[in-house]
Amino acid sequence: MKLLPTCLLLLAAALPAAAQTPTPVPAPTPVAAPTPVPPPPTLSARSYVLMDFDSGAVLASREPEMVVEPASITQVMTSYIVAAELAAGKVKLDDPVFISETAWRRGGAGTDGSTSFLQVKSSVPLEVLLRGMVVQSGNDASIALAEHLAGSEETFASLMNEYAARLGLTATRYLNATGLPADGHVTTALDVARLGRALIRDFPEHYQQYSIKEYTWNGITQHNRNTLLWRDPSVDGIKTGHTSRAGFCLATSAKRGDMRLIAVVMGTASEKVRADESQALLNYGFRFFEASTLYAAGAEVAAPELWKGEAPKARLGLAADARVTIPRGSYGRLQAAVNVPKPLLAPLAKDQPVGNLVVKLDDKVIFEAPLVALEDYPEGGFFKRLGDAVLLWWSSD
């Protein structure tokens, strides 16, 4: 047993007892009976993924990590890099881009692939090339952009692979900026969904171009090949792809209310099938799942006792909204808990990580994020620090 001097015993007796760290639970609201979640629709695609945009959770899939050829969906990475270079100020939308003979021969009007009908040895504003690639999958525009940003398409492909690694596209390897067939130029449905999510998250203004239905250049009007843009008003992207080896592929994103989903189908038999199967996936996700904000960014999630500080408690919250997508009607089965160091000692700086929040649905973790201090918490005065030190010493046995 630890013995304290009489003066410290008197000081300790005057101080409040330690409080337990609260364990918050999302306040249940009246909900309808849970909707049974049936299996996803039967699709003919070689592989597919349905992903929740907010959390990145996969809601449905088949062979999500099957290695496949991406075809023109490759150009999503090309446009991601262009958007990143624009954001960094390394290039500008009005930059004149030279159309080389290589870009013209490999992607121009004389080829069997998608083209923006660019004239060889002309100069075209970067914005025009970007629009041509995003809307009509112009291979000539893709190659010209790659050469402008990296000097050659080969060097640009190396840059694409660096970005792929940074974004966690673990099975993707790029050999060109267009998606034209090349042995070893591969991806997976899961990686395509991850890339689409990164594009929308990191460059939302740039992403708006993916909803453009038609585009005219050089007196030629071409339509976006994503036919869901006409069929479903909630669809605002992302990209089609097709070669004889890859089949017909489609990465799609749609937002209904405050919920956004990403659907990827790879290797279907026709343009109609890829659209139908993508629509079926989106309808399935919106019908049987719902998005919910459990805690808003900056709102208090927990207020554990703070030792040796001016304030008796520290208000903790999240740097970003805590959003989850769950089966409809299952909100009442959520369980949330905070993990905070004990004892929690001052000083704490605003936004300093302090433990974490974990949310489970039926014992499965569906959300986890760091808790941060919502304001500065300086140390208390000498007697406050001394008194807390005594209590901590006394309670440590």
Q: What pLDDT digit, counting tens, does each position of 45-91 carry? A: 999 999 999 999 999 999 999 999 999 999 999 999 999 999 999 99
**CATH number 2.60.410.10 is the correct assignment for the domain at 296-395:** yes
d(CA 50, CA 265): 9
Q: CB neighbours of 259 closer than 8 A, spacing ≥ 6?
A: 52, 54, 286, 289, 290, 291, 325
Confidence band for 212, pLDDT divided at 50, 70 and 90? very high
**Among residues of the chain, what percentage have pLDDT more than 90?**
76
CATH 2.60.410.10 segments of the chain: 296-395
Say what the pTM is.
0.85
Average pLDDT over residues 179-189: 97
For residue 23, pLDDT beyond 70 = no
pLDDT in the model for residue 19: 39
Q: Looking at domain 47-288, which of 1.10.3210.10, 3.90.380.10, 3.30.450.20, 3.40.710.10 is its CATH number?
A: 3.40.710.10
**Among residues of the chain, what percentage have pLDDT more than 70?**
89
Give the helix/strand (H/E) hosting 247. strand 247-256
Average pLDDT over residues 139-156: 97
pLDDT in the model for residue 217: 81
CATH 3.40.710.10 segments of the chain: 47-288
Which whole-number Å values give the CA distances from 212 to 11, 70, 218, in the listed order?
71, 22, 18
Residues in the chain, total: 397
d(CA 145, CA 143): 5
Average pLDDT, the chain: 89
pLDDT tens per residue across span 289-315: 999 999 999 999 999 999 788 899 999
For residue 241, pLDDT beyond 70 = yes
d(CA 338, CA 389): 25
d(CA 316, CA 305): 11
